[in-house]
Amino acid sequence: MQSDIVEFLKTYRDLYSLSDPGQSAMAPPMFHPDAVEQLVSEARDNAARQTGPMQHMAVVGRPGSGKTFLTHALESMLVMATFPGKIVRLPEFHPHIQSPEDFINEVYARFEGEAVKPAASWEEITAKLDKAFTARSRKQRLLILIAEDFPGLLRRAFSSHGAQAKLRNWLDRSESRVMLVTTSDTGGIDSEPGDPLFGIFNTVSLGGIAVTDATALFDARFAQGQQMAEERLMRFLFLLTDRTPKAANVLARAYTQNGRQGLPFVITDFQRYYASAYEFILADLGQRAASCMHDMIANGEPVSQSDLARRLGVQQQSLIAQPFSEMRRKHLLREESAPSGRAKLASFADRFFVSFYRQTVLGANERHDIILLLGAILEAPVPDEIREAVDTIANAVDKDGRAPAFKLFSGIRASHAQKDGVFWRGLAIELITRIAAWGPLSDFGEKIAEYDALSARIVLTYANCLGRDDPNRWAASDPDLRALFEALGRTSEALQPSAV
């Protein structure tokens, strides 16, 4: 099974329609093979059942997590395996389906190639569909019905309990040979206890992909002449996304097409692809959620609900809980436990979205965008003068401890007093990479602060997080810098004192 999935992933094209005209889409990162296997296994089990009802499946995950791809994988693999049945895929966008009759007529039309007369009732259409399906073969077959954005379909065509009961009764019949496969961005497919559709689905949840999987995709595309700086940059950029397969694919494409022109072109291309989705997020948020979002981005995150309520002057925390719930439901937030206490600290999962908001809503200058400022440092080779300075400091720390090393740093600071922010940021990053394992960096951060505030944030935030036993200590750091520290992590680990 696993080898079949791998072969499918290699040959599947046009996954996200990312190609330029005349070019084939690049292969997607290999992700969620267990989910593909689970869907295929359920389909085969259903086909082997002598009587219904069948087991139905719901694929749930944030936009870009691979729901549509997963249903295409199911379809392709069943066709390759000469599956005894038929697969009917409803259109991804189906505003024309406004009633149960519209729904079942659409299924019949895609099965038979022609629609039933509009006046036909639910019972008449289901009877015709049953007859058409069973008449095609003497053997029992399975009809797999794929319906994407199932919550939207329910809102339009099955909004009442009575309408949902029709669907449930059709699927639950002992003679049913229909397996329903649905997708949802936000969950909520099973409704609430007591609702007609409650408990009808087995759920397959698709989370983000691991950094190592994304890195494998980048390595495969940039293997020739890849430098450490390029690897760190790509890991950093991916960690700023919502970490979905789609984000990895779009980022790899943007870098392939624009990398030679420089990082600003890569970032612009990535954000251009997501611009319509970002604009939809802003337009779709309720007023309270939009106010919370504005404050979090304008005044800092991560933040707890109680702290945000105080910042906004809201007396009732319930007025904050609802917008937080809305933003979580739309996969905008990433929440982690605070370093102490039970509070949850929330920050935005997609830092490119935060950058987009800063530029388009807050009017921030893109030249001062933190993604660009940090990425430019990771992208460029380390200047010899920075490398030599950090080597000198690191050797002093290793030999004599922090105090002599700090004196050396003070001398370096004086001799490079006229350097611009780019130099100090590069020095800060190299200090983190090379000597973080030797002890606190706060003294260095305070001195760097005299010349560049961002460089000081990098060093001081990392120093604040370093050496803590509680892994949730990361949640207290600036989310814009966390990805930088994670991207530097592999290099830092390789340069621990025991390895030098």
Task: Kindly state whether residues 308 and 245 are assigned to the same domain.
Answer: yes
Domain boundary among 186, 206, 226: 206
pLDDT score at 178: 92
Task: Kindly state whether residues 126 and 70 are assigned to the same domain.
Answer: yes
Domain boundary among 191, 206, 221: 206
Task: Kindly state whether residues 162 and 253 are assigned to the same domain.
Answer: no
Task: Kindly state whether residues 376 and 394 are assigned to the same domain.
Answer: no
Task: Kindly state whether residues 227 and 355 are assigned to the same domain.
Answer: yes
Residues in Cβ contact with 33 at an 8 Å cutoff, skipping those fewer than 6 apart = 2, 5, 6
Q: Are 234 and 388 in contact (CB under 8 A)?
A: no
Task: Kindly state whether residues 270 and 411 are assigned to the same domain.
Answer: no
Assessment of whether the complete model's pTM goes beyond 0.75: yes
Task: Kindly state whether residues 348 and 443 are assigned to the same domain.
Answer: no
Domain that holds residue 188: 2-206
Task: Kindly state whether residues 164 and 213 are assigned to the same domain.
Answer: no
Alpha-carbon dihedral 210, 216, 221, 226, rounded to 10 degrees: 110
Task: Kindly state whether residues 415 and 358 are assigned to the same domain.
Answer: no
What parts of the chain have a pLDDT lower than 50?
A: 13-27, 469, 471, 494-500
Task: Kindly state whether residues 33 and 153 are assigned to the same domain.
Answer: yes
Strand pairing report for 333-337 and 201-206: unpaired
pLDDT score at 374: 93
Alpha-carbon dihedral 258, 263, 267, 268, rounded to 10 degrees: -70
| Tokens describing residue 471 | 């892994």
pLDDT score at 290: 95
Structural domain count, the chain: 3
| Helix ranges, 330-369 (H) | 351-360
Task: Kindly state whether residues 122 and 220 are assigned to the same domain.
Answer: no
Q: How far apart are CA 406 and CA 447, in angstroms?
A: 10
Domain boundary among 154, 177, 206: 206
Which conformational region is residue 439 in: left (phi greater than 0), alpha (psi within -120 to 50 degrees), or beta? left
**298: domain CATH number?**
1.10.10.10
The CA R_g of the chain, rounded to the nearest whole Å, is 27
**111: domain CATH number?**
3.40.50.300
Task: Kindly state whether residues 227 and 247 are assigned to the same domain.
Answer: yes
| Amino acid residing at 244 | T
Alpha-carbon dihedral 252, 253, 259, 260, rounded to 10 degrees: 140
